[in-house]
A and B are shown apart, each in its own frame.
Chain A
Amino acid sequence: MKIIVLLKRVPDTEAKILINQEGTGIRKDGVKFVINTYDEYGIEEGLKLKEKLGGDSKVTVFCLGPEESTEVIRTALAMGADDAVHICDPALESPAPFTTSAVLAKAIKDEGFDIIFCGKQGIDDDTAQVQGGIAEALGIPQVNIASSFELSEDGSRALIGRRIEGGNEKIESALPVIVTCDKGINEPRYASLPGIMKAKKKEIRTRTLADLGFDEMPAAGRSKILKWLPLPKGGECRMVEAEEVSDAVKELARLLREEAKII
């Protein structure tokens, strides 16, 4: 079985995020990059499936990202993935989700696939758009926010659990399917040292847009990031003080009407 896992390189959750001066992205100095937390669940699920199936099942990592992404790709390989495809092109400096989807979908299609695991969202942009785009482009079903996964006995269908309000939902899907993983679906493993050593020798195939057969930016017109802006500073808090509560209420009403102009 050809198992595909997606991996996005994101700033560490503890990193101090500042927007660069031009407003085209975040400042990268002082920021450490890691595997998107939710993608770790996807990787683990892919590895578990491979271990269960045995035979010639194979887990391939797909990552679209800058050159430095090889570091996080190696981590996934150290966890046990077999090889990786790294899509890296200067033109993809900060692609919109549609573009990412289109590029990844093409690369995955070229490679061949039976199932795709990924995270439910990137912990950086939180758009949760890429998976949907890939499913569309490949014409396969997509099950989101999975909390459990197994194959049917005959191995022909996927049985996916989802936590919904007040209960659990079981979804049966045809293969191939793209499954986006939620926290709790598994406990991602810690790469063992022999795993780390082996990962150094595993193959990472680099692909540019041209390699994938794109002569122009795919889905370029569909959406575009115009500018990155910091969150506006939170307003300040003012205490209304008075001897009598009724006076305070009156003063508050006056402030709301005259200064804040909201009533």
Chain B
Amino acid sequence: MTVEGIVLVVLFAATLVVFGFVVRMLIRTLLLGKPQGGFGDPLRRFWSVIVHVAGQARVLSQPAGLGHFLIFWGFIFITLGTIEHMLGMIIPGFSYTAIFGSAVAGWISLLQDLLALLVLFAIIYSLYRRFIIRPVRLKIDDPAARNEAVFILSLIFILILLMYCIKAIGIVEGTIDESYAPVSRIVSGLFEGRDIDLGLMESVFAWIHHLIIFFFLLYVPFSKHIHILGAIPNIYLRNLGPMGTLSRMDFEDETADKFGNSELRDFTWKQLLDLYACTECGRCQAACPAFLTDKPLSPFRMIHRMRGHLTDERKRLLNSAGDDIEGTPIIPETVTEDEIWACTTCGACMQECPPFIEHVQKIVDLRRYLVMTESRFPSEMQPVFKNMEVNYNPWSMGYSTRADWAEGLDIPLASEKKEFDVLFWVGCSGSFDARGQNISRALSSLLKKAEVDFAILGTEEICCGETARRMGNEYLAQTLIEANIETMKKYSFNRILTFCPHGLNTFRVEYPQFGFERPVIHHSEFLLELVREGRLPAGAVEIKKGAYHDSCYLGRYNDIIDQPRELIKMIDGVSLSEFGRHGKRSFCCGAGGGRMWMEEDIGKRINEERVDESLELGVGDIFTACPFCLTMFEDGLKSRNIENIKVLDIAELMVEAYSAE
């Protein structure tokens, strides 16, 4: 081995040892978090790594993602070259040609040569985006975030230039086959016929190159590029279940004096791994209704700041033995109360996030602490909680009036029928809100027309608990959930029908946490089923143009996107237009996560943003399949003084289609 080779081996080994310590420290930091399990199904997980790491599926779902894709793959091929070069320095005579034969080695070289060029362009374009275009996606109030990105990109840029120079010298010296290195051949013009010591030059370039790589290895874990280490395990360990399902809390321990999360160690280790996985791409914030309407919340910033906090805290926490040291509270220094209350839990952030970071659970965990341990929350939430406690609904309405909407309509009660096919879950909006009641009446008239064997719980029904849960009041939510389960268990029925996507989601994915599982169907699916089976005619309306607005909890959370559209299209005379942001990428109405019940006095109102979108596009009337979206649209239109646009639930639209007949 040459002296050069020995020095390289020593340096490399030293770097690896330090890197090992760093990784160990990172893992110990993760283990400060609470345990979390449930990572079975290795095949699906490996496949997901292939699709989302190798294939970069989510990254590529936006045009600018191509840059990352190129840098990712380019870097891998460049690293192959780096390895070859380093081994060559250590083992005299080593080369891919010697091992794999000239064909394979040639292809590696060719791909490397071409990809590296694309990477150069990608880097120039990223710098252009960061400095000139400055898209909303990358906006963040911490200049360090951008500087770091620029620093790393510049390093990669330099690495590539060095690689070309090294290969070019190889071409001049005849050690590299120029036909597999078209770009390097052009560069070799720089070195051809010059009176310099090419051997020395090559070794200087190579040393700079390799030292940068070593530096990179040690710098990465302390920068945003830690995502290179964090994202792959995070994608492997991602939530394969339904999105945004909140964890069930345990209230058994009556001596506990803390509920919810106030500091880092309250999160699970997987939630902390999320922080390492963030690529700082900003896709989440570019989709976030709160951020886009100038609220203080940005999911990107939140994760960025929490990771910063993790970095600040870990030394202190790791050095302390056990639990006897107080963690620094996350609120208000790292994340503010205004931020966490601004979230509608719409899930748009999680839908976009390439490494599958879960923002909503973290936000709700922080809310849980504030609500349950500190009783600190926007004051307008208190009457809402109290109403849910006393009258089992967020409106301040007497619980005994819950079934008043059904008076005189001869709607069967579960307590009378005992056994039936479909339990029509009316929900709080359907029971107490004037428009909601109208949907309840519309839907029940359709059910009767189709001769569905159904019943309602009447005054036995109470709030499903979804809102309380997302507002952080898990204790109240569980009280409601358990009471509902008790009630439902008294009757025999096959499925739950609801027109409220929030109820739908909570019955589908959250009630099973409490031991109650029953098929749940949304009225859009059910009505479509009835029309298809010929149990309901589709009807016709006078020409109506309108767009269907996807509710977050229906489309994004539960993948019910086509059914309502198909149903609408079956009605003669309706021409369906589309919002720009629709389907899984729909834009929240602003009501979710308990936001319906909170003041919205910062920034633009989310519902107005959505109404403005509809007006700009001229979509016509608005069709909804969620009573909360309906209310938000009506309010938004009112505040824009628009009277000629109607907002209709799909059940109301169908009833209108019949009455027009």
- The residues of A with any CB-CB pair to B shorter than 8 Å are 12-16, 30-32, 34, 187, 189-197, 200
Contacts and interface: CB of A to CB of B under 8 A. Distances in A.
B255 interface: yes
Interface stretch (B123-131, B153-161, B369-377, B602-610): B369-377
B258 A194 contact: yes
B392 to A, nearest CB: 9
A15 B400 contact: yes
6 contacts: A14-B391, A14-B396, A32-B391, A34-B390, A190-B375, A194-B373
A187 B379 contact: yes
Given A16-B398, A30-B399, A32-B391, 13 more contacts: A12-B398, A14-B396, A14-B398, A30-B459, A31-B400, A189-B375, A190-B371, A192-B373, A193-B372, A193-B475, A194-B373, A196-B475, A197-B255
Contact of A193 (B373, B377, B386, B459): B373
A12 B256 contact: no
Interface residues of B, number: 28
B247 interface: no
A254 B398 CA distance: 44
B548 interface: no
Nearest 8 Cβ contacts at the A-B interface: A14-B398, A193-B372, A30-B400, A192-B375, A190-B375, A194-B257, A197-B254, A193-B259
Contacts of B255: 197
Nearest to B381: A190
Contacts of B375: 189-192, 195
Interface in B385-437: 385-387, 390-391, 396-401
Interface string B343-384: 000000000000000000000000000011111010100100
Interface string B195-236: 000000000000000000000000000000000000000000
Nearest to A40: B386
A192 to B, nearest CB: 4
Contact of A16 (B387, B390, B400, B475): B400
Contacts of B385: 190
Interface string B249-281: 001001111110000000000000000000000
Nearest to A75: B389
B372 A192 contact: yes
Contacts of B377: 190
B612 to A, nearest CB: 36
A16 B404 CA distance: 12
Contacts of A15: 398, 400
A201 to B, nearest CB: 8
Interface in B158-211: none
A200 to B, nearest CB: 7
A14 B373 contact: no
A184 B396 CA distance: 20
Nearest to A197: B254
Contacts of B371: 190
Contact of B390 (A32, A189, A193): A32
Interface string B329-340: 000000000000
B345 to A, nearest CB: 21
Contacts of B258: 194
A195 B258 CA distance: 10
A32 B388 CA distance: 12
Contacts of B379: 187
A190 B256 CA distance: 18
Contacts of A196: 475
B220 to A, nearest CB: 42
Nearest to B398: A14
Interface in B542-564: none
Contacts of A31: 400
A196 B386 CA distance: 14
Interface in B440-488: 459, 475
Contacts of B475: 193, 196
A191 B473 CA distance: 12
Contacts of A197: 254-256
B259 A32 contact: no
B382 A190 contact: yes
A7 B400 CA distance: 25
A196 B372 CA distance: 10
A15 B398 CA distance: 5
B205 to A, nearest CB: 64
Interface in B99-155: none
A191 B259 CA distance: 13
Contacts of A190: 371, 375, 377, 382, 385-386
A26 B390 CA distance: 19
A168 to B, nearest CB: 23
Given A14-B398, A200-B254, A192 B374 contact: yes
Contacts of A189: 375
Contacts of B398: 12, 14-16, 32
A187 B475 CA distance: 22
Nearest to B258: A194
B373 A12 contact: no
Nearest to B260: A193
A12 B382 CA distance: 16
A88 to B, nearest CB: 22
Contact of B256 (A13, A30, A194): A194
Contacts of B396: 13-14
Nearest to B395: A14
A31 B400 CA distance: 8
Nearest to A201: B254
B211 to A, nearest CB: 55
A173 to B, nearest CB: 30
A12 B257 CA distance: 30
Nearest to A15: B398
A185 to B, nearest CB: 15
B399 A32 contact: yes
A32 B397 CA distance: 12
Nearest to A193: B372
A14 B256 contact: no
Nearest to B377: A190
Contacts of A16: 398, 400-401
Contacts of A194: 256-259, 373
A12 B372 contact: no
Contacts of B382: 190
Interface in B610-644: none
B275 to A, nearest CB: 27
A12 B390 CA distance: 8
B375 to A, nearest CB: 4
Contacts of A34: 390
A29 to B, nearest CB: 9
A70 to B, nearest CB: 16
Given A192-B373, A192-B375, A193-B373, A12 B259 contact: no
A16 B373 CA distance: 34
A200 B475 CA distance: 15
B255 to A, nearest CB: 7
Contact of B397 (A14, A30, A191, A195): A14
A190 B400 CA distance: 24
A191 B379 CA distance: 13
A120 B397 CA distance: 24
A136 to B, nearest CB: 34
Contacts of A12: 390-391, 398
A128 to B, nearest CB: 24
B371 to A, nearest CB: 8
Nearest to A33: B390
A34 B391 CA distance: 11
A114 B404 CA distance: 49
A31 B399 CA distance: 9
Q: Which residue, A12, A31, A200, has most C-beta atoms of chain B within 10 A?
A: A12
A192 B251 CA distance: 13
A20 to B, nearest CB: 16
Nearest to B391: A14
A194 B373 CA distance: 6
